[in-house]
Amino acid sequence: MPDTSPLAVCVGEGLVSFVPATAAPLEDVRTFHRSLAGAEWNTAIALASAGIRTAVVSRVGDDGFGRFLTAELRRHEVDDSAVDVDAEAPTGLYVKELSPRPDGSVDGTMHYYRSGSAAAALSPATLESPAASVLLAHAALVHTSGITPALSASARAAQDALFDAPRDGRLLSFDVNWRPALWRGRQDEGRAVISDYVRRADIAFCTRPDAESVFGTAEPDRLRELFPEPRYLLATSPDGAVAFDGAERTDSRSLDVPVVESIGAGDAFAAGFLAGVLTGLSLTGSLARAHRIATRALVSTRDHID
C-alpha cells in the first residue's frame, strides 16, 4: 500500500484460536483448525483488506504460536514491526466450541487460555519502543478496545497512555468489547473504566447487548445522551446499526447473507466503518462499507476475514 495512504494502528492482544472441524462438544472433537484471533488483530486484518495501511502494536511469546501470528499479519499485509517478542511469557490462545442451531448456523463459545500471556505484559514501555513510537507518531487513527485494560494493570496503563497522549489530529477509536470474565470480581470498576474510555474516544463502537450490560441501556438515543463526547457513536446488533456523527443520526440494516457464525463480525464492521472515515466517506457511506466487510466474517467460523 502506498506510504501516502492513512495509517491505522491497532493496539491489543493477538491470540491463536483453535476452531473445531465439527460442531460438537469439545470432548467429542478430534480435529481443530488453527487461526488468528483477538479483537484488535481481527480489525487490523479487515482494515488492510479495505486498502488501509495498517499496523499492530502488541506482544507475543517467543514460541511457534507467536511466530504463526506475526506471519499471519504479514500475509495480510499488516505491519508487525511493533509486535514485541517475550522470551518468557507464552502467546495466549483460546479454543472455540461450536454448537449447531436449527437454522443451520452455529453458536461459538470461547474458552480462553490467556492468563499470564505475553500480551498481558503490555505497558507504556511497549508504546515507547522505537518501532511503536514511529507508528503512533504517523498514525491517522489508533484503534483499541475494552479488552486491553482488563488484561492487567500494566495493560490498562498502556491504554491510559494512549488516551492521555496528545492527539495532534489523530483519531482514537474504541470498541467496548465487554468481557465479564476478565473483570470478574471487579465488574463495577470495569464499567466505570470503559465508560471513561468511551467519553474520551473520537469513535466508539458498542453492541447492544454490551451496552445493556455496561451502561444499563441499549436504546441508541439514550446512549447518545449518556455519551455526547465521541464524534461518532455506533450501537450495533445482528439486525443493523444506529450511528451518530455529532447530532446526525443514521439507521442501517445488515445485509441479508447466510450466517455461518457471528464471532468476529463486529471487528470487521468496525474496520469497514473506520476505513470509510479515513477515506472521507459520509456517515451513510461508512456504514455501508462496514456492513459489506462484516458479511465477510459471517460466512466462516474464523474470527477474521480472509
**Residue 250 amino acid letter:** T
Given a contact cutoff of 8 angstroms between Cβ atoms, the answer to whether 210 and 177 are in contact is yes
Q: How far apart are CA 108 and CA 99, in angstroms?
A: 7
* Residue of 181, 179, 216, 215 lying closest to 198 (CA atoms): 215
Q: How far apart are CA 171 and CA 150, in angstroms?
A: 22
Would you tell me how many other CB atoms lie within 10 Å of the CB of residue 1?
13
Query: What are the cell numbers at 37?
Result: 484471533
For residue 54, the one-letter residue type is T
Rounded Cα–Cα distance for residues 169 and 166 (Å): 9
Residue owning grid cell 465521541: 230
Active site residues: 267
Helix axes 265-278, 283-298, angle to 10 degrees: 150
CA angle 190, 118, 207 (to 5 degrees): 35
Q: Which three-class secondary structure state does DSSP give residue 243?
A: strand
**Strand pairing class (7-11; 53-61):** parallel
SS3 label, residue 41: helix
Q: CA-CA distances (angstroms) from residue 250 to 7, 20, 216, 259?
A: 27, 38, 22, 24
First to last CA, the chain: 17
CA distance 31 to 261: 18
